[in-house]
């Protein structure tokens, strides 16, 4: 960082530090692998001279790089952006070098990214798969080469482990709350949800309703892709046109659908909320970053962002170190966030 002559390579840097290159090399691979006094000397030189090892030369012969790929299905969804940020930070803290990718909702792109990822020789990959549309065979092939931890959305038995939310519990928790505080909810979801979590959520709803002795009512709406708000909005309009919701309480499969439902309600002049002059209650699931700011603010189930990302990275680190163990599925419970929409 100074005005000293520029260091060209590790040889030179080792020389000005009064050490040999292999020792310096060892330091850069793992600072703790050299004697404390040596380490101090290197780090002092590092302050004095401006040198960074050439990462291309480093990774060329390394058995294992420190690269980690983070792949999410749709980065323009603030939920994934937020969890990606979390995961990214923890990777850095764990000494990895994360790179962020998004499949943009396209299964082919998902596979393409994995392929280009392979050429980066990553130590591991954290992947939230697209879900239903994911090309399982290709992902499986990838998992055979690179330690991969799935998160958010599970593909059964794939990868080293899965870390996500207990989506069944999400819906059960919310359904119970809604039953306790008003009319039992109907369940609002996409007919062919792109994400397998949706199935768990439906099941949680069905279980809760049965246990509480209410008749479950599931509304399945059309729509494809990741424009959930629009799908929810159009779906709700269709429901309004065909007799309305079967209950004055609507539990949506996720927050983004719920946001669309709120918009439809507004457009239809239907008041949403828990106060006296509202005629319908709407709840979501995920605690989307903007759920707090809808009108009315959306009652929802909060994911344990931090616990999930921290555990996912923890497990990945183990996978990278070559630990062998049976496929693990770790699920975190959600928390009820009560707001004014339900």
Binding site for a copy of itself (CB under 8 A): 52, 54-57, 59-60, 75-78, 81-82, 84-85, 99-102, 104, 118-121, 229-230, 233, 259-260, 262-263, 265-266, 289-290, 292-297
The nearest distance, CB 40 to DNA, in angstroms, is 10
Q: Which two tokens stand for residue 339?
A: 């707001």
Identify which of 148, 145, 205 has the alpha carbon closest to the alpha carbon of residue 179. Answer: 205
The nearest distance, CB 1 to a copy of itself, in angstroms, is 11
Q: Stretches 5-13, 199-207, 270-278, 334-342: which one binds DNA (CB under 7 A)?
A: 5-13
Does residue 8 belong to the site contacting DNA (CB under 7 A)? Answer: yes
Does residue 40 belong to the site contacting DNA (CB under 7 A)? Answer: no
Residue 181 interacts with, from a copy of itself, DNA, none (CB under 5-8 Å by kind): none
Q: Stretches 2-10, 125-133, 212-220, 274-282: which one binds DNA (CB under 7 A)?
A: 2-10
Does residue 21 belong to the site contacting DNA (CB under 7 A)? Answer: yes
Alpha carbon distances (Å) from 248 to 91, 139, 270, 271, 278 = 44, 42, 11, 11, 10
Residue 38 interacts with, from a copy of itself, DNA, none (CB under 5-8 Å by kind): DNA
Alpha-carbon span 282 to 267, nearest angstrom = 15
Does residue 116 belong to the site contacting DNA (CB under 7 A)? Answer: no
Which residue in this structure is represented by tokens 């927050």?
255
Does residue 65 belong to the site contacting DNA (CB under 7 A)? Answer: no
Q: Which two tokens stand for residue 278?
A: 């509202």
Alpha-carbon span 143 to 188, nearest angstrom = 34
CB atoms within 10 A of CB 278: 18
Alpha carbon distances (Å) from 59 to 21, 122, 186 = 17, 10, 54
Residue 23 interacts with, from DNA, a copy of itself, none (CB under 5-8 Å by kind): DNA
The residues, ordered by sequence, that sit 6+ positions from 339 with a Cβ below 8 Å of its Cβ are 291, 292, 296, 297, 298, 299, 300
Closer residue to DNA, CB minimum distance, 105 or 147 = 147
Identify the residue among 1, 2, 3, 35 touching DNA (CB under 7 A).
35
Residue 191 interacts with, from a copy of itself, DNA, none (CB under 5-8 Å by kind): none
Beta-bridged to residue 269, according to DSSP, are none
Alpha-carbon span 117 to 70, nearest angstrom = 10
Q: What separation, in Å, do the N-terminal and C-terminal C-alpha atoms of the chain show?
A: 57
Residue 25 interacts with, from DNA, a copy of itself, none (CB under 5-8 Å by kind): DNA
Which positions from 145 through 204 interact with DNA, judged by CB under 7 A?
none
Residue 108 interacts with, from DNA, a copy of itself, none (CB under 5-8 Å by kind): none
Alpha-carbon span 123 to 49, nearest angstrom = 30
The nearest distance, CB 97 to a copy of itself, in angstroms, is 8
Closer residue to DNA, CB minimum distance, 10 or 308 = 10
Asked if 201 contacts 258 with a C-beta cutoff of 8 angstroms, the reply is no
Q: How far is CA 217 from the centre of its chain?
A: 29
Does residue 6 belong to the site contacting DNA (CB under 7 A)? Answer: no
Identify the residue among 4, 43, 44, 54 touching DNA (CB under 7 A).
54
- Angle, alpha carbons 210-177-329 (nearest 5°): 70
Residues that bind DNA (CB under 7 A): 8-11, 18-23, 25-26, 28-29, 33-35, 37-38, 53-54, 57-58, 60-63
């Amino acid at each position: 960082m100074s005005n000293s002559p520029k260091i060209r390579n590790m040889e030179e840097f080792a020389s000005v530090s009064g050490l040999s290159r292999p020792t310096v090399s060892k330091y850069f691979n793992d600072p703790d692998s050299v004697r404390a006094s040596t380490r101090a000397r290197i780090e002092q030189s590092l302050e004095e001279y401006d040198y960074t090892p050439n990462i291309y030369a480093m990774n060329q012969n390394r058995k294992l790089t420190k690269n980690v790929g983070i792949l999410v299905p749709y980065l323009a969804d603030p939920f994934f952006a937020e969890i990606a940020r979390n995961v990214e930070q923890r990777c850095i803290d764990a000494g990895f070098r994360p790179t962020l990718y998004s499949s943009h909702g396209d299964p082919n792109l998902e596979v393409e990214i994995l392929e280009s990822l392979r050429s980066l020789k990553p130590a591991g990959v954290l992947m939230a798969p697209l879900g239903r549309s994911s090309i399982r065979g290709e992902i499986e092939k990838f998992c055979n080469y690179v330690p991969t931890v799935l998160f958010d959305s599970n593909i059964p038995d794939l990868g080293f482990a899965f870390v996500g939310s207990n989506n069944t519990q999400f819906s059960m928790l919310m359904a119970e709350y809604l039953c306790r505080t008003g009319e039992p909810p109907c369940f609002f979801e996409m007919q062919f949800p792109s994400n397998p979590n949706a199935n768990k959520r439906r099941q949680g709803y069905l279980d809760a309703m049965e246990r509480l002795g209410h008749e479950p009512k599931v509304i399945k709406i059309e729509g494809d892709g990741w424009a959930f708000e629009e799908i929810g909005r159009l779906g709700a309009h269709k429901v309004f046109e065909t007799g309305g919701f079967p209950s004055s309480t609507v539990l949506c499969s996720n927050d983004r659908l719920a946001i669309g439902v709120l918009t439809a309600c507004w457009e239809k002049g239907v008041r949403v909320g828990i106060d006296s002059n509202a005629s319908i209650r709407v709840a979501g699931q995920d605690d989307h970053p903007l759920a707090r700011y809808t009108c009315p603010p959306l009652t929802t189930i909060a994911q344990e962002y931090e616990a999930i990302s921290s555990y996912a990275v923890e497990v990945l680190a183990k996978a990278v170190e070559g630990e062998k163990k049976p496929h693990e599925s770790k699920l975190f419970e959600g928390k009820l966030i009560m707001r004014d929409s339900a």
